Every structure is written in C-alpha cells, then in structure tokens.
Amino acid sequence: MHYVMSQASPQVDAHLPNAAPEAVYDIIRRIRPLFRHLVSAVEQNLVGTGISVSMRGVLELLAEAGPQTVPQIARALILPRQNVQVIVNALLALEAVEAHANPGHKRSPIIRLTTSGLSTFAQIKAGEMAVIMDAGSGLATSEVEACIRVLEHLKGRFGEIAQSGSIHLPVEQVK
C-alpha cells in the first residue's frame, strides 16, 4: 500500500474544544526520544553508504521537491545556510549532486541530484521502508492521518512562534 497525504496544512475545526496543554506537552515530550530513535535507526541504515543523516535529508528533499539552491534547501530543512552548504559540498564530492548555473543568481547555483545520487537515495529509502512497514504494523490509516494532522498543526504553530519570537517564558536565568 502506498500512502500519501497532502503537504498542505490541515484545517482546524474551530468548533472542537482545545486539547489540554498537558496533553499537547505529552506529545512533545514523546517526540524527543522518538526523534533520537529515528536518527539512530537511520544512521544504522546508512552504515557503509558514505552518506550521513544530514546528507540523506538533502538527498530526500532534492528527490521529492526537485532541484533547489542552497538557501532554498536551508529554508525547507529549517537549517542554517552555512550548514547546508557544508552538506552540499560533501554531496558534490561524492558526486551525488551537481551544481548548475542559476540564471536568477550568479552566486547561488541550482543543486540537483545526479543519477547516482537518485539511485543511492532510492536504495536508502527502500531499506527504511522495510523498517517503517514493520514499525507501522497495527496502525490504522485513520490513526496515521490523525497523527499527521496533529504534527502538522504543531509544526505550523511552533514555526509561527519561532519566527515571531513571541514566546517569553517567566523563567529566571540559572546562575
């Protein structure tokens, strides 16, 4: 079964009661160790490929979204441009990506996957999908869809908060 959900932000029903802040916090608290487990599992899958987790992320973005500049990649991955440039340089050295002239900006080439890079990413993803299939067994499609809606909502709201700088916590500085 192939599962695809729209990248568009989910619609929030204004008529539904808001979740208790403690329940939302519990979701966030569970995301942290899940993220660490995901990174560890991806690292294990990448052993022997010469590809790091960060490089894999750039390959995935280029495979799914097409050629982009380093600043576009940085924005999409929510990473500093300088960090993405280091990752892209490493991928260029492996000949997994190639840089092409950008008619819109002389100093910001368009980065695209090479045939080798696309093949490498396809192999990596195939290995991951076998693990994901096992990890996701027992979950109903409706549960996965609800989870995606919740995560997209939180990602969007925390993204807005991070960009606005509007969070000011009443916490004293530790001395």
Fold of 39-159: Arc Repressor Mutant, subunit A (1.10.10)
pLDDT computed for residue 136 by the predictor: 93
pLDDT in tens, 20-56: 889 999 999 999 999 999 999 999 999 999 999 999 9
Q: pTM of the prediction?
A: 0.80
Name the band, by pLDDT with cuts 50, 70 and 90, for residue 113. Answer: very high
Mean pLDDT in residue range 88-108: 94
pLDDT computed for residue 3 by the predictor: 41
Asked if the model's pLDDT at residue 16 lies above 60, the reply is no
- Domain residue extents for the chain: 39-159
139: region left, alpha or beta (phi > 0 left; psi from -120 to 50 alpha): beta
Give the pairing of strands 68-69 and 110-113: antiparallel
pLDDT computed for residue 175 by the predictor: 66
DSSP three-state, residue 96: coil
Give the pairing of strands 97-100 and 68-69: unpaired
pLDDT computed for residue 112 by the predictor: 98
Mean pLDDT for the chain overall: 88
